[in-house]
Each structure stands twice: as structure tokens, then as C-alpha cells.
A and B are shown apart, each in its own frame.
Chain A
Amino acid sequence: MALINRDSKLSEIILHDPSTITVLDRFGIALGVGDTTIEEACTQHNIDVNFFVTILNTFINENYFPQQALEQFEVSEIVEYLSKTNSYYEHYILPNIERHFSFLISRAPSHNNNIIIMKQFFDEMKNELLQRINDDRDRLFPEVISNGKTLTTISEPSHTETETYTIEDKIDDLINMIVMHLKGDYDHNLGYAVIVAIFSLKKDIKQNNRIRRRILLPIYNSLTPQDE
């Protein structure tokens, strides 16, 4: 999709990419958008239009990352957005995948243990993600907020972000495991539900990670004295 701008209609964005519904939700915009444009919706909900457009564009286009534009925003704005995405993972999408998985296991014949093992792998990834979310809430976000003002001074990214790669890697592994190696009898509809839910987590977390890695962690690292 071409880049969206303040005159784009919300309905067209959603029809093109339904996964944006959850992003709009983080800004307080629910379905039933009529033919409102972005600018109108932002005025109504008291949202920073530039920030909103930038976030939507980075979400829709995987290769789009307007570093400079993002660096101009208030730290608190970015932290607030990331907190909402975290809360979406924690309260909606992880429980959702889990529910589908449990159905899948309960409907599968008892001798099909490969789904149970996949679920264990999912649990491991889930716990790692929940741990990161807790750490964001208790440590990273408060520290960035209390020290950062605007995002104009940014140092080179350091290597502390390796952990964000492993969560993405494990989601990829989980997807490949289901796509390539699922076997035995199982309910096909439920298998589909599980994989679709994991795909939507993957897409969301990829965007979240790009913002963390390239905007938030560099600020954090420029605030904390480095050990070397």
C-alpha cells in the first residue's frame, strides 16, 4: 500500500490491512469509523496526527522506518504506545493463542503428543515475552521517561538488544514448526486459528521491536553510563 497521510480514510486503511484494527485501538479508535479521515479522527480523539501517521506507516510497510521523524516525537508518546502494544500482547493475543492451542490439544487424539510439545515451546516463548513486558513496565519505561525529554540526542545502538531478536526468532521457529512439522490427527480449523494468531503476534512484535531497537534502546543507552 502507498504511504498513508492525514487525508487517508480510516475505512480504506482497515480494508486494506485488517491487522491495523488493533493499532487503531491503541489510540482509542474503535470499529465503525464511517468515512472519517485520519486528521478528523485525530482531532476527535486528541491524538498527535504526525505520530499517528508515522506509527501506522511503519506498521503497514515493513520496509518503512522514518528514523528522523520518530526521533522528533516525545519520549513519553513512544513509551505510551509501546506500553499499549505490550498490554495487547499480555491481555489479548497471548491468551488468545493459548486458548486456541488448548482447544487444539483437547480435540486431538491422546497419542498425538507433538502438539503438546509445540505448546510447551510456545509457553517458553510466552514466558520470555511476559518477562520482557514486566521489565519494560518496572524498569525500562520509567527510566527512559524520567530521564529523556525529546528524542534528539541518540547514540549508536549498542548490543543490549539481542534479547529482542530471540523472541522474534522463537516466534519464527514456532511458525515453521507448525507449518512444516505438524503431524498426526488434529482439528484443521483449530490448527488454522493457532497459526493465524501467531502470525498476527509476529507482525506486531516485529514493528514493536524496530521501534524499541532503533529508537528506545539508543536513548536508554545514551542515558546510562556504559561499563567499558
Chain B
Amino acid sequence: MSNSRVIILTHDTLEAIGLKYVLSDVFAINAHIADDGYFSNFNLSIEPHLFFIDKATLVANLAFFLPRKSKIIVLTAGNEVIEDIKTLNTSISESDIINALSQLLETNHNEEKPSTTLSSREIEVLRLIALGKINKEIAQELNISINTVLTHRKNLTAKLGIKSVSGLSFYAMMNGIV
């Protein structure tokens, strides 16, 4: 889950701070604590992955949250059930909260699992890198721009965790690409 796209919106500031701390300390998620000004400044281009809100915030902004039902977790002070919406009971013990959070975050995470396989174009670029071709030659051979070659290389490094040319070549050998 990408950082800072988790929003906490609750009137209980101490609760917000506590949640932010647990998310960062236990789950390495950097959440942002927002206030009521959030909706007037809402920027559509950075759609958050997840909202932690209290019930009052939900009720006051139903038009905003109903289309985002799958992305909200409502903080409740007891064992309250809200139809179709995930909740987190904030008055249970610390370890229960962490367990509940880890389940909530897991279901959320699975919905957006990134692909780790290489596209056929990336494999083609990888093959040419392994054959010792430089960017310009790869661009000519595949009839694409150098910028596109660079993008493919960036994606290869991100997916494989390998950046040196010889590392990529050995990876290609291991996987029968050359």
C-alpha cells in the first residue's frame, strides 16, 4: 500500500494521533491526519487508498463516502456493526486492535496487488541488454524512442531489484531469456 494515501479523519485528535502512531510503528504506513478543511481542498488526482473516520464524519459527508464505501474503516467506541462497511472497535485491548488492523489492512491490500511478471516488451528489452546493446541500439531495433527504452529499464529494475547491466544479464541467463 502506497504511503501517505491513508487518511485519518476523526474529531478525537488523541485517537487520530494514536492510530497514526500504530500504523507507522507496526505497519510502516505513513497516514495523514486531516481536519474538516479536507473536503473543501479535496484533490481528485490523489485519491486515497483508505480512510479511517469516525461516525460523525461519515454521517456529515455521506455523499463523499458512499461511493468510497470499500475504502473506509469507521472507528467505533463499541462493538457496533454498520451494514456493508468495515469498522474498528477502538475500546478493545491494544493487541486486539493490532490484530483487527492487520486483518483490515490485509483485505485492503489484496485488492491492489501489483504484478511482478515482466511484459513481453520488457523481456525483449532485457534480452537486448543482456546481449550487450546500448539504449540507442535497443531503441532502433525495437523501433521505439530512447525514452521508452529508459522507462522499460526503470520498470525492469523496479520489478527485478537488479540495476547493473551484468546483473540483468545474469538474470536473463538464469531465466533462459538469452
Contact = CB atoms under 8 A, between A and B. Distances in A.
Given A173-B161, A180-B161, A117 B173 contact: yes
Secondary structure type dominating chain B contacts: helix
Contacts of A114: 174
A180 B157 CA distance: 12
A179 B171 CA distance: 13
B168 to A, nearest CB: 8
Interface in A177-211: 177, 179-181
A169 B166 CA distance: 11
Secondary structure type dominating chain A contacts: helix
Contacts of B174: 113-114, 117-118, 181
A172 B163 contact: yes
A170 B160 contact: no
A120 interface: yes
Interface of B: 160-164, 166-167, 170-171, 173-174
6 contacts: A117-B173, A118-B174, A121-B170, A170-B167, A173-B162, A177-B167
Given A121-B170, A169-B163, A173-B164, 17 more contacts: A113-B174, A114-B174, A117-B173, A118-B174, A121-B166, A166-B164, A169-B164, A172-B161, A172-B163, A173-B161, A173-B167, A174-B167, A176-B160, A177-B161, A177-B162, A177-B170, A180-B161
